[in-house]
Amino acid sequence: MEAQNDSFIRYLATERGLSASYQLSVRQTLDALAGWLGKRGTPLPDVGTDELAAFLSQRKDEGLNAASLRLTTVHLKVFFRWLAAKGKLEMDPAEPLLSPRADQTLPETLHAVEIAKLLDSIDPSASLGRRDRAILELFYSSGLRLSELCGLRLEMIDFEDGFLRVTGKGNKTRVVRVGHLALESIENYLTNERPNLVTKRTSSHLFISVRGTALSPDRVRQIVKERAKLAGIDQNIYPHLLRHSFATHLLEGGADLRVIQELLGHADISTTQIYTHVDRHRLKSIHQKFHPRG
């Protein structure tokens, strides 16, 4: 099964253009399946729907939540569909599998007051203040994913019209609006700070480290957390929280859900609809708090 797993991962990378993190997630699922089949002495050609259902049942017993089980089921469906299409199997045993309903968990958000507190706490004149202020302003202004922000290059910015061209999931490119405050912060960083960070090996990446190299996702996460701590915000702050806040505040302001879907780069409107639940949750909380019979 190892050879088939390797071929499938190459297919995801080269033909589907899926991210390294997604490839790793699929690899972990397939490795777990291979280990489970090995213990049972079941070769890949003998795998049927019953075996896959038993594997998923064991994963559930091991503590996998509904969302993770749903993702594992998707991995199995795509893998066995690929095997059947390649003629490696006579039929697709994963096709009848039903995905468990994912838990309806609402994304965390920050109140606009907390966002302002976070951004205003960064002193642009301090060391790396211009860079870090630009990073956080851009996260909140445009709702970028962490990978999208880290992949930004200078040539992707249109300062005149206030847009970014970003590459998102599946190597899909979209145009994203940037607010004037975020643009001002980026221009300040590019004019007064980035030139001092540039070295001979510096690429055209927008955000770079003190060594002149592109910032890694882990480093950007660290920057966001450090800045939140310095701002005196006790809540766990991470880049995706700013993306959630971006979408939620747009919806609260009256933005159309389809527009928010396009700005976030969601392929399916159902993914964006989670923010309508957030808005209803907020309205319910306000009603309960302020109405005499709430």
On whether both 77 and 212 belong to a single domain, the answer is: no
In a domain, 6, yes or no: yes
What's 165's DSSP letter?
E
In a domain, 105, yes or no: no
Single-letter code of the amino acid located at 86: K
Query: What value does the CA radius of gyration of the chain take, rounded to a whole number of Å?
Result: 23
Could you tell me whether strands 157-158 and 163-167 are parallel, antiparallel, or unpaired per DSSP bridges?
antiparallel
Domain range enclosing 270 = 112-289
Tally of structural domains, the chain: 2
In a domain, 211, yes or no: yes
Which CATH number does the domain housing residue 67 bear?
1.10.150
On whether both 63 and 116 belong to a single domain, the answer is: no
On whether both 42 and 121 belong to a single domain, the answer is: no
Active-site annotation, residues: 145, 169, 240, 243, 266, 275
On whether both 126 and 55 belong to a single domain, the answer is: no
Angle at which helix 49-61 crosses helix 20-40, to 10 degrees, equals 110
Residue in the structure block whose two tokens are 């890949």: 44
On whether both 28 and 121 belong to a single domain, the answer is: no
Angle at which helix 239-252 crosses helix 112-120, to 10 degrees, equals 130
In a domain, 97, yes or no: no
Give yes or no for a contact between 95 and 48, defined as CB atoms under 8 angstroms apart: no
Predicted structure pTM score: 0.65
Q: pLDDT digit string (tens) for 219-254?
A: 999 999 999 999 999 888 999 999 999 999 998 888
The whole-angstrom distance between residue 137's C-alpha and the CA centroid of its chain comes to 18
On whether both 119 and 243 belong to a single domain, the answer is: yes
In the chain (294 residues long), the average pLDDT of successive 10-residue segments reads 87 88 92 92 89 90 86 93 90 84 67 94 95 97 93 95 87 90 97 96 96 95 96 91 92 88 85 72 60 59
Q: Which residues contact 182 (CB under 8 A, 6 or more apart)?
A: 134, 137, 138, 140, 141, 142
The whole-number pLDDT of residue 201 equals 92
The whole-number pLDDT of residue 267 equals 80
Dihedral over Cα of 72, 78, 82, 84: its sign: positive
In a domain, 262, yes or no: yes
Q: Determine whether 132 is exposed, middle or buried from the number of CB atoms within 10 Å of its CB (0-12, 13-18, 19+).
A: buried
**Nearest residue to 247 (alpha-carbon basis) of 257, 238, 239, 237:** 257
On whether both 70 and 23 belong to a single domain, the answer is: yes
Which CATH number does the domain housing residue 126 bear?
1.10.443.10
Residues counted in the chain: 294
